[in-house]
Every structure is written in C-alpha cells, then in structure tokens.
C-alpha cells in the first residue's frame, strides 16, 4: 500500500512572524543571494542569483506542536533556514524538493517524540522512503534534513 504525502513549506502566516522576529527573537536581516542556490523553505526551491533572502531561526517542531497540542519536550529545537525576505508565492510544483542529495528523514510521533531516522539517497527513491515511514501508524510527520549540517529542509505529513 502506498501512502500519499505532501511536502510542506514554512506556512505563510509563520513567514510573516519570522520576518518580524525569528524563533530566536532576532529581527530580519535581509541580504542578496548573489550566487543563488540557497534552499528556500518558503517555496521549496533554490534561490536564483540576485534574490533578496534572509537566514532566520526556525523551530518547526515547536510550531507543529502549538497546532496539535503536542509537547515535544527536549526534542524541541530551532535552527537556521533560508526564506525570501519579502512575500513569496509558495511552491510551484508538487514534486518532492531537494532530493538531489542524500537526506535524513526524521520521524516523529503525535506527541512530538523522535521515532527514528533514516538516511536516504536519491538512487533509493524518496517517495518509497516516505511511504515506508508512514506505513508505521505511530508516525505523525517526517522532517527532511540536510546531511551536511543537519538543517531542517521541510516537513512531510500524510495527505488526508
């Protein structure tokens, strides 16, 4: 059985908040990505050369827990993410983004606890790795993270 799942960018409401003060309380400090390539979490694509972006501190599990009433306890963490410095139209496609490199898929339960992680390479196929993760009924969501720095890239949830 295949489970349908969707990659979720940082929501527009949250982006507005992060552009005022990020999850570490710092004000927005926009800059121009001269070379391009920064992985933008607001639209799930790489920045084009010359785009105005910002690096903000983001606590994805904390934000999810506030929506669901979960208490992730010590698993609550925040880290750096790139976003557009101004409004963004959001993702333009339905493909799983940032799957051109190995990634860590970190699984979380409904109470916000880590259930495990898995290193996935592009040759394995990310869609099947997500289906395997969501085959476990205890998995509420999956975070996709960069291998090099461990940074949060996006969240994946089951489609309802």
Q: Domains in the chain: how many in total?
A: 2
pTM equals 0.92
> Do 71 and 112 fall within a single domain?
no
Instruction: Report residue 37 as tokens.
Output: 């390539």
* Digit-coded pLDDT (tens) for 27-57: 999 999 999 999 999 999 999 999 999 999 9
Q: Distance between the two ends of the chain, CA-based, in angstroms?
A: 15
Rounded distance, CA 55 to CA 28, Å?
8
Whether residues 11 and 78 share a domain: the answer is yes
Owning domain of residue 108? 93-158
Which stretch of DSSP H or E encloses residue 2? none
Query: pLDDT tens-digit profile of 66-122?
Result: 999 999 999 999 999 999 999 998 998 778 899 999 999 999 999 999 999 999 999
Q: From CA 94, how far away is CA 6, in angstroms rounded?
A: 8
């Amino acid at each position: 059985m295949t489970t349908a799942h969707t990659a979720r960018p940082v929501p527009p409401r949250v982006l507005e908040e992060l552009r005022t003060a990020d999850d570490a309380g710092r004000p927005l400090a926009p800059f121009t990505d001269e070379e391009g390539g920064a992985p933008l979490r607001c639209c799930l694509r790489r920045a084009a050369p010359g785009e105005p972006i910002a690096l903000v501190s983001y606590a994805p599990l904390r934000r999810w827990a506030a929506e669901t009433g979960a208490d992730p306890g010590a698993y609550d963490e925040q880290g750096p993410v790139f976003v557009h410095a101004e409004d963004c139209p959001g993702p333009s496609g339905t493909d799983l983004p940032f799957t051109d490199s190995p990634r860590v898929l970190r699984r979380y339960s409904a109470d916000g606890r880590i259930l495990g992680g898995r290193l996935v390479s592009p040759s394995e196929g990310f869609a099947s790795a997500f289906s395997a993760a969501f085959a476990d009924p205890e998995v509420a969501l999956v975070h996709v993270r960069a291998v090099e720095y461990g940074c949060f890239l996006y969240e994946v949830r089951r489609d309802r």
